Structure formats: C-alpha cells, structure tokens
Structure 1
Amino acid sequence: MRAQGRAPTTDGAASATDTRNALDLAARPLGGFEAATAGFTLFAAPLSRVLDVELSALEAQGRGQIVSSPRVVTADRVKAIVEQGSELPYQAKVGNGVSGVQFRRATLKLEVEPQITPDGRVVLDLDVTKDSIGEPTAAGPAIHTKHVQTRVEVENGGTVAIGGIYEQLNRDDVTRVPLLGKIPVLGALFRHRARRDQRSELVVFITPTVVGTQCETSGAGDAEAGKRGPEAGGAGSTRQPLCQ
C-alpha cells in the first residue's frame, strides 16, 4: 500500500467550494469506534487525479502553500511514520543542579496504519501532529503543538482531506525614520504602525493506493492442477499461487 499525503496551508482567503467535486461526509463508525470528530472531506478516486492540479493552482494564486509531499509504502495493518522537522536546543537540569543542553523536536509528523477491507476499500488510522516554533523563553524557544487523530474509510485511490488545525497570527509591525521616529510626540509623524492578522488552516490530503497482487493457494486450485496433469504444471514442478 502506498499512502501519499499533501499538507497545504491556506491563508484564510474566501473561496467557493465546487460541490460537484467534493462531498462533506461524516466518518463511518467502524468496529465500535465513534465517527471522527475532526472535519474532513472525501474525494472519489477519479477526482483524486486532478487534486494535484487544484493544489498547484492554489499555490500559484498565493492562497495556499504545500508544506510537504511525502510518500511511503507499507503493508496491510503495519504502521508507517513520516516525519519532517528540526531539533531545537533548550536548557535542562541533568542532575545535581547541573544544567545542560538537550533537544526537542518540532516536526510535521504523520502516522498511518492501513487496513484493507474484503471489498477493496481502505481503513486508515491517522495521527497527524504539527509543531511550530513559538516565542523565545529563558530555557529555549517554546513549541506549539497541534494534533489530530481519527479513523476513516476511503475507497482505493480516493483521497481524504483532514482539516481543523488552525493557526492565528497577530503581529504589530512598526517602521520609523532613524532618530526622528524616537522624538516624543513629533516622532509619530515619522513612524508607521501596521497590524497583521492572519489565520491559516493546515489541511492534510492522504491518498491510499493498494499496490501489488493478492494471491491465493487454495486446495481447489491444487486439485484442478492435478487433473490437468504434467502438461499443466510440468512433471515434478510446484504449482505457482493463483493471483488475481
């Protein structure tokens, strides 16, 4: 199985959703698990093929940015982990009052465990973590963490888009003329203050694709090969598995 993810961020610009290409659905409860609470959108397999084009168009228009585009191959019911980021140093006590430098990770991390159903669909256990560097402290920079964990079922080749991870940025920028901008009262004439409010949302797109073949070595197949005799499989040869 190949799980392929994209994580674009949007800058909050108003946009219209084409209801012909996207369908908002609630997660289907599976095995006693409740439906996912994080908002997500399911795309059918034919629509997933044009998803890369749509994301590239958003990035070209300045309305989004593709943060990462990892690909990973894993087996059925085997967890795969994709992680990208950096390690930040901070001061910590290591014992007897002695302080030392240790490191903490600030990463974009995706954990996915797929399960292929008998009808060819894929159940995904997803765990997405997005860390960002925060304000500096005496011990080191703070780390802001955003986390989404859910389970969803999607068709082979379809795409699930998980959202709901928002980030609010409020910043005051001040530009001024050197020396003149610091003059009391009159300095306001030589200063410019701008407030920047930006809201972004992290959206993770995951497209599971079943690769390879599914083989079976049934007793019925062995019996059929025996009926055909040596001409079918060769005298003394071992029958190869029947593959779909």
Structure 2
Amino acid sequence: FGGGGGGGIFGGGGGGGFGGAGGEGEGEGEEVDVEALIDLIQATIDPESWREAGGNIGSIRALRNQIIVTQTSTAHRQLRDLLTQLRQAHALQIAVESRFITVTRNYLEQIGVDLDVVLNNGNAGFDRAGFQNQPLRDPGTGALVLVPREFSRLGFTPGTPGGLGFTLPTQGFPQPFGQAGLVPGTGNMGPHSSRFTPVPIQNNTIDLAAPIATNIPGTLGGADVQPAFSLFGSFLDNIQVDFLLQATQVDARASDLDAPRLVLFNGQRALFSAFIEQQYVQTLIPVLGDNVGLFQPIIGIALTGRQLDVQATVSADRKYVTMTIRTFTRVSGDPVPFQFTGGSLTGGAGFVQLVRQTTNQVQTTVSVPDGGTLLIGGLKQAAERERDAGVPILSRIPVLKRAFSNSSLVKDDSVLLILIKPKIIIQEEAEQEAFPTLSRGERS
C-alpha cells in the first residue's frame, strides 16, 4: 500500500479483492467485513492521526471491497505488517480426509433331516379276494390277491374289460350273513392288518429349526436360500418311508469404503454429501369423477449415502486441528408394496410402497495432530440365532438321533468405523514445495 493507493485486502492487487478478480470481490470466496477491518486499522495504527479521530493526516475509505489509505510512511509500514499477519493467518487451509468403513459378515449353517413313516400303508383297507369260496392267488407268485374294501362291501369283484390281460367276469363274495355290504372276516394277513387304517408317523423338526433372520443387513436367516445339498425320496411298500436331507453352510463377507475429502480455510465450515435417490410411491390421493374413482400417486424419495460436515480451526502453534464433525449415514432398502382395499361398494384398491431405512449420525468435537488419524466413532452390531429341535428321547439316542433332530445357526456381524485425518496446508510451504525455483528467485 502507498499513500493514497489501493489494493486487495487479503491477496491480489489492483482491482482484486478477497477470492475475486477484476474488482469483483464477492462471489466464490468469503465476503470480507470491510467495516470491521477499517475499525481494526484505525484502532491499531496510530489511532490519533486519523481524521475521524480528530487528526489531520490519516484517511481511509472502502471502495468495492478494497481500501484506500492516506497516511505517513511509518503508518504504511505498520499497516503492511498488520495486513501481512492477517494474510498469513488467512493463508492456512485444512485438508480433511475421512473414511467410512463398513465390514459385514453373515454366516449360516443348517442341517435338516425330515423322516416320515406310514405304517400299514400298502394293505390297509383291502380284503382277500375269493372265487368259489376259495381264496384267489397270484398264479406267478402264489401270493394272496387283495381287493379294495369298497368292492367287498358291494359283494362282488369288478370285471376286467377285454384287451387288458385276462378277462374275468364279475364274481360275488360269500357274505357272512348272506347280505351284501357286510365285510367278511379278514383272517391273519400279517405283517399288515386290514383292520387298521394307515398309521402315519411324521417328523416336523425341520420346520421348527428353520433359520431365523436378524436385524443386521445381509442376514441369511429367513431368506429364500436354496440348500447347498438336498437328497430326498420315498420307499413304497406296506411300510412307506419318505425322507429328506438338506445341508447348507454359507459364509458371506463384505467390506465397503467411502472416503469423502474436503479442503477448507482455517476456521471455516465445509459440507460434503453424496446420495443415491430412489423413487417410490409414498402415498395416494383419491381422484373422483363420474362413476369412477382413481388414485393419483405421490412419489417420495429414499436416500442412500453419506454426508460429512466439518468445521476446523488450526492451533496457534500449527500442530493441532480442532474440528467439530457431524456425520450422517443412511441406507435405504428396496421398496415393499403394501396393498389396501377401499371401503367403497366398487371395491377400489390401491397400494403404496414401504421403505426400510437405517440411519447413523455422529456429532463430536475433537483435537487431532496435524497428519494424524483419529477414530471419531463407530458402531458394532452382532447377532446370533441358534435353533435345535428334536423328538424327546429319540433325539438323544446315539446315531439314531440324527434322524429325529435338526439344527440351524445364524451369525451376523456388522462394524461401522469413521476415521478422520486432517492435514494443515500452509501457503508458503506449499508454494516452496510446488515451485522451488520460483521461490528461490523471489528470495534473491
């Protein structure tokens, strides 16, 4: 600054003010409080010499975010030193690097056995067939021929149509009381018994031990996970056996890293946000017309992403950075349709979509060394669901218990870590590092 000259307040000469160019000081940078700066200069540099204080020499005025000063040479040197100190303080910047680390592990183990037995299944409800008061036998094997009981009650055997083996005429049964509809005695027909209906023995422990879902994202419990190994079949005879064997083991691991970065002036505040927008049907507004009722959908937005809000200040010795940090994390799931029916006689129906959202927020004030990394917050979630179902007594017999017991195990872990690393950027040091030749030329 010279007598009667003008210059930028915090950098830039001629018409350039703070953060601007060509005389337009406002805009991209921080707006300077010129009146406060003028008051500071008049109170610091030879206060009695200013005309506003009754002096005859000093005058200062602002013009488009610049100041024009008329003063003595000594006062100009003092003013230059003051502005240099202010510029040096303003030349400090802080680069803030953050890391949002999410590590998830989902584990599922399931061993299921379903064994169902039906006793007396093959011959229940059958009677011996007879011909001329003699039991019929299979000509090939000699085994007794059985006939369904409904024909026994009718008192005759069904005729076999021609072209399908040997044609047999309809034969009557010898009824014990000479009355059709009365079932004759069965006799000894072991190992089955036609006196009993089929006797099912069912094992439902595979459903009782089904995996249960947890509240941790990515859980495998309760999901429609196809078994890794499956074996099933049936043995059909007088004793029917249905068996099902399933075995599954899944270990899923995932890690996500988000690393927002900000650069801000000393003492200032900066905000970074990155979100993915997902539209969904939030609500419906009924639209009425002549003999018709419709719905107008209202679209909502579900956000998934991160937000970082930082205000940082460098300590006087330039070794530490004090930061006020606010973090915001939100994860939105897939929309789930929710259908409802109106109460009108026309039975109008519509649906909305429900979105499940998980939100994590951290707000704190910390002091971190220059270039150091600090864990400012985090969240660890762990859940375990273990189910073991079996038939009493049978599920405790060695070897045999495997057919009458089932088990499942679900383990879920999720860890969220938030790390902050500040780096002080000093303008002079950055210039010397980036332009060493230019810096040496200026000093020479």
TM-score by length of 1: 0.51
**Aligned position for 2:312:** 114
2:277 aligned with 1:87, yes or no? yes
CA distance in 2, matches of 1:133, 1:193: 32
**Aligned position for 2:255:** 65
Query: After superposition, what is the alpha-carbon deviation per residue over 1:197-232, rounded to whole angstroms, capped at 9, x for unaligned?
Result: 2121211111100113379xxxxxxxxxxxxxxxxx
If you compute each CA radius of gyration, which structure gives the higher value, 1 or 2?
2
Contact 2:101 2:417 in 1 (8 A): yes
- Displacement, 1:8? 1.7
2:221 aligned with 1:7, yes or no? no
**Aligned position for 1:128:** 327
CA distance in 1, matches of 2:377, 2:269: 21
**Aligned position for 2:359:** 145
Unaligned runs of 5+ in 1: 13-61, 173-188, 216-239
- Displacement, 1:195? 4.3
TM-score by length of 2: 0.30
**Aligned position for 2:376:** 162
**Aligned position for 2:417:** 203
**Aligned position for 1:175:** none
What amino acid is aligned across from residue 422 of structure 2 in structure 1? P
What secondary structure does 1:210 align onto?
A: strand
**Aligned position for 2:302:** 104
CA distance in 2, matches of 1:71, 1:80: 10
Change (3 A) 1:11 1:115: same
What secondary structure does 1:208 align onto?
A: strand
> Which of 77, 85, 93 lines up with 2:267 in the alignment?
77
Contact 1:92 1:100 in 2 (8 A): yes
What secondary structure does 1:165 align onto?
A: strand
- Displacement, 1:2? 0.6
Contact 1:165 1:203 in 2 (8 A): yes
Contact 2:376 2:419 in 1 (8 A): yes
Structure (1/2) with the larger strand percentage: 1
Contact 1:87 1:104 in 2 (8 A): yes
- Displacement, 1:64? 7.4
What secondary structure does 1:67 align onto?
A: strand
CA distance in 2, matches of 1:11, 1:82: 25
- Displacement, 1:103? 1.1
Change (3 A) 1:141 1:93: closer
Q: Percent identity, aligned pairs only?
A: 21
What amino acid is aligned across from residue 158 of structure 1 in structure 2? G
Contact 2:326 2:361 in 1 (8 A): yes
CA distance in 2, matches of 1:11, 1:107: 17
- Displacement, 1:130? 1.7
Structure number with higher relative contact order (C-alpha < 8 Å, ≥ 6 residues apart): 1
Count of matched residue positions in the alignment of Structure 1 and Structure 2 = 151
What amino acid is aligned across from residue 210 of structure 1 in structure 2? I
Contact 1:8 1:64 in 2 (8 A): no
What amino acid is aligned across from residue 68 of structure 1 in structure 2? D
**Aligned position for 1:34:** none
- Displacement, 1:157? 0.9
CA distance in 2, matches of 1:135, 1:199: 21
Contact 1:163 1:201 in 2 (8 A): no
Contact 2:311 2:324 in 1 (8 A): yes
Unaligned runs of 5+ in 2: 1-93, 106-251, 288-295, 339-352, 387-402, 430-441
